[in-house]
Structure 1
């Protein structure tokens, strides 16, 4: 009756294969005269979701989370994860071969400085680290008297004999009825931002920025309609889009060529070098631009100017067409979710349903809308102790029966051409315990506090984050993830730069869409999260002396 088309339930590799890979990797390090190497969970553009060919961290360690890093030394190895993935890493990584360490406190650089010796040579792939990250690693190495070495080819790739081919998803046009703004108008706004920065050109190293600017979408990354690509935008003249031509139809090529020249990805190096030779100042996005780009521009005589991507804030504040599309997408999605909740209410008390059943049913109800393009991330359906794993993904092996007395945490989303959705509900199967009721109530009160917040222009996500946590703090508990993240318009379900978290320093602007998702997780017992998406909008307050904003759910 139900089935999943957009997600699978295969178990990650483990055991002997991973042990052999770590040994082979150390041999490759030795062959290259390296005593250490740093492997981030990243591709060349720091995407959250990466193509199978870029899953180096998972291939080497077994850890499949969307954020993390590994350091391999001659006799020690460590996997670094944040609080969202601590339980998952403990389940997936061989702790006899790897230490599992916090990604935040202390940071990997501290661990590295403590475990290196004078004269050590630590390698890194400059295409997989931002310049800021590389500088932190270099400082840590120098503290121990070691040296950080950029490599020309990644040693993981040298031993990954069955590495998948790079993706070639077809590029499609994101129609004006969904985009709400032409490519030419977007380029005009981008150049206005470039003028403020004082740069001669800027590199769009974030594929989301390229997709938004040129109103295209793709299929290179799971669950995100992303065409992997770069663009070089000069302050005058035609931009250049660097994208594999095999992804382009005549129609999509013609669409791009209305506003830009189109070149193969390997032409980026030559184009940047030519631009930099004149001493040009070239803008780079601190969050996504690879250290290799900074090094290339510097070596060619240019001036890399690191800062915020000029597209990120423009993209984050949705236009009226995108906002209308988001409302339409959520209305459609709500029907599917309501059907799912009714099905759970009817079937779960019988005690026969499993987590996989829930995932397959919810996706089927969404496909029944006739508009589903993909899920926006693998559905998180965790019952009992699995619900306490913040980013749990059910597999055939971990699949658990949804039993009376359990809580079922279901976090899911959809990709529709008119909008991207993300929603979480926690469902009590039968009678919850008093503790479950208390924690759920505290999470709900925090969720409502965010939804009802009123705040002036200039407010950041960090200033609002405590509203969601206050009731949990009163009970001496907390949650180890942000309260909210930005959401794209038929793009990434996790979009920067705005977020509601302790680290959210970006001002919240009208038109931004963010999640509101406080939670509580009791290890080996249950998890609770309640999530809706909210729109930053003007608040009409009689007698107000200054402009105020709030959230529309």
Structure 2
């Protein structure tokens, strides 16, 4: 058993407790298989969680998106699930503080721990005289560990991004000057890709390349495996920056003396930060690039809109195919996901999916991030719902959309919950909000209709979406846990309320929206949401008696746009069907 082997390593090193986060050296959300240490130890395949192992106990902390999935996957691994955010469940740091003894030694790999979370852990444990040792105990026990990726890097053309790398670097330097800093170290892969207008294939679903970037007042330095650079790409990058091998950054950082660094503690690892000597000073804050890339420029917005129309065509064709084919032959969840990918691949500039498609039939829909494969997939029957959450990475944008598709007969409960979800979606999408409003302020709007009916969902309502970058992009967020960062024009966010009933079904309706300025009244500036994603919402699952007049108007207006934008790319049969399923509803 893997857990026993880890405990043997812990005993050799006198480690009383070992922590395995979900991370790589860059704090990425999605990981290359080489860095999936927490999955290796626990068998849990979700994208978020922390494992803690002691001599006699083993726990996995994860959030509400994964409770059902994690409970199932860790069953044989020796781990117990700790449900984050549930009353009475301590955080892993609280648990360590309450259960470890004075002078106990905690082990962790500082290459996978970001500075911010490490400092919080260290501060809490030091109060109890508990110590931390930076040590890697996983590599020795992971046989046949996947090799590091070696995909080629390519240039993201100006016609897609609308701003040169030199322009972006100039903006970053202006911010450095504002903070009176000399240097910034960028470790997050999406920020490096955005800054240099390059993309790669090191991480599935994310067009990134493992690298580090240093921006100084007069120079730029890139650290990357040079084997990944073909001649054209090398020549392009060589005009912008000095190029060193990936691992050389640690020694390179050690050469700086008496400089002022701008550092994002959430995006720099303990190992990387520790390479900078004590003669230097620091300014801390979110990556300068975060705000810059979250507000899309005019070229990016226009391209992103085109990407969503293409993506809507693929999804609409898929829904038509699914509803007709399920009557003729057996289709399982995995088959459906592959067919949807097939439709996406037909679209111009498609590169890959933006995340693993969630194709979840019936009870599997209650697992917010369920993943089907050919071995465990349910057959889709002519009843209930198929929840499909999917997206694509295109050269001209990143997409994310969810439809809960009616496969046949529905229960009264299913229809009611679908309608409450739709009401929640429209309450947020049709709102206007004052400049300076944060995502936390808006989150309650989406939950209002669900809370009225004693329903809730254990996740945020929406997240930012990158531009041919991460499908989850900070800082935009609509969630009870959102920061106070205000939502601004040019940001792109999702709106995805849902209902999830274990053992029964899941429902989610997700569209993506651009934040735009609406009107100015005196000194007050108001914003609103402009929809980008277009695909039919299943009207067979709606109880009209539960909808208010404004919600019926909003649905009809949306479906009119869906038909206008999607129908030109359909064949005649698909077009007739779309006309019917987007028809105007009258009470």
Question: What SS does structure 2 have at the residue aligned with 1:65?
Answer: coil
Distance 1:305 1:395 in 2: 46
311-320 or 87-96, which deviates more: 87-96
238-247 or 394-403, which deviates more: 394-403
Distance 1:150 1:305 in 2: 25
Distance 2:298 2:390 in 1: 25
Q: Which residue of 1 aligns with 2:303?
A: 325
Q: Which residue of 1 aligns with 2:292?
A: 314
Q: Which residue of 2 aligns with 1:52?
A: 33
- Superposition pairs of residues 195-210 of structure 1, within 5 angstroms: 195-210=177-192
Task: Measure how far apart 1:30 and its partner are.
Answer: 1.2
Distance 2:65 2:410 in 1: 24
Aligned 8 A contact 1:44 1:290 in 2: yes
Distance 2:402 2:268 in 1: 32
Q: Deviations over 1:47-67 (max 9, x none)?
A: 111111001011111011100
Distance 2:254 2:26 in 1: 19
Aligned 8 A contact 1:203 1:284 in 2: yes
Aligned 8 A contact 2:251 2:275 in 1: no
Distance 1:176 1:391 in 2: 35
Q: Deviations over 1:202-256 (max 9, x none)?
A: 001111111101100000000110111110111x211101111011011111111
Distance 2:265 2:421 in 1: 34
From 148, 159, 164, the equivalent of 1:166 is: 148
Distance 1:75 1:441 in 2: 48
Task: Measure how far apart 1:305 and its partner are.
Answer: 2.8
Q: Which residue of 1 aligns with 2:272?
A: 293
Q: Which residue of 2 aligns with 1:117?
A: 101
Matched, 1:130 2:114: yes
- Superposition pairs of residues 355-434 of structure 1, within 5 angstroms: 355-434=333-412
Q: Which residue of 2 aligns with 1:527?
A: 506
Matched, 1:244 2:236: no
From 57, 68, 71, the equivalent of 1:87 is: 68
Distance 1:475 1:225 in 2: 41
Distance 1:343 1:364 in 2: 12
Distance 2:369 2:77 in 1: 24
Distance 1:103 1:139 in 2: 21
Distance 1:180 1:517 in 2: 29
Q: Which residue of 2 aligns with 1:516?
A: 495
Q: Which residue of 1 aligns with 2:534?
A: none
Task: Measure how far apart 1:422 and its partner are.
Answer: 0.5
Q: What TM-score results when the alignment is normalised by the length of structure 2?
A: 0.88
Aligned 8 A contact 1:329 1:421 in 2: yes
Matched, 1:550 2:528: yes
Task: Measure how far apart 1:444 and its partner are.
Answer: 0.7
Aligned 8 A contact 1:406 1:432 in 2: yes
- Superposition pairs of residues 450-465 of structure 1, within 5 angstroms: 450-465=428-443
Task: Measure how far apart 1:351 and its partner are.
Answer: 6.5
Question: What SS does structure 2 have at the residue aligned with 1:186?
Answer: helix
Distance 2:24 2:510 in 1: 29
Q: Deviations over 1:319-344 (max 9, x none)?
A: 00000110111111111111111112
Distance 1:552 1:258 in 2: 39
Distance 2:519 2:324 in 1: 42
Aligned 8 A contact 1:122 1:149 in 2: yes
Q: Which residue of 2 aligns with 1:480?
A: 458
Q: What TM-score results when the alignment is normalised by the length of structure 1?
A: 0.93
Task: Measure how far apart 1:116 and its partner are.
Answer: 0.9
Task: Measure how far apart 1:192 and its partner are.
Answer: 1.4
**Aligned alpha-carbon RMSD (Å):** 1.4
- Superposition pairs of residues 461-472 of structure 1, within 5 angstroms: 461-472=439-450
300-309 or 66-75, which deviates more: 300-309
462-471 or 25-34, which deviates more: 25-34
Q: Deviations over 1:104-138 (max 9, x none)?
A: 44211111122212221111111111122112222
490-499 or 129-138, which deviates more: 129-138
Q: Which runs of 5+ in 2 are unaligned?
A: 532-587
Aligned 8 A contact 1:205 1:288 in 2: yes
Q: Which residue of 1 aligns with 2:253?
A: 272
Matched, 1:497 2:475: yes
Task: Measure how far apart 1:98 and its partner are.
Answer: 1.2
Distance 1:227 1:60 in 2: 26
Matched, 1:442 2:420: yes
Q: Which residue of 1 aligns with 2:43?
A: 62
Q: Which residue of 2 aligns with 1:39?
A: 20
Distance 1:323 1:535 in 2: 8
Distance 1:148 1:294 in 2: 16
Distance 1:319 1:479 in 2: 33
Q: Which runs of 5+ in 1 are unaligned?
A: 1-19
Question: What SS does structure 2 have at the residue aligned with 1:159?
Answer: coil
Aligned 8 A contact 2:349 2:396 in 1: no
Matched, 1:102 2:83: yes
Q: Which residue of 1 aligns with 2:196?
A: 214
Distance 1:483 1:430 in 2: 28
Distance 2:517 2:408 in 1: 41
Q: Which residue of 1 aligns with 2:134?
A: 150
Q: Which residue of 2 aligns with 1:9?
A: none
Aligned 8 A contact 1:351 1:403 in 2: no
Q: Which residue of 2 aligns with 1:227?
A: 209
Aligned 8 A contact 1:462 1:501 in 2: yes
Distance 2:306 2:497 in 1: 25
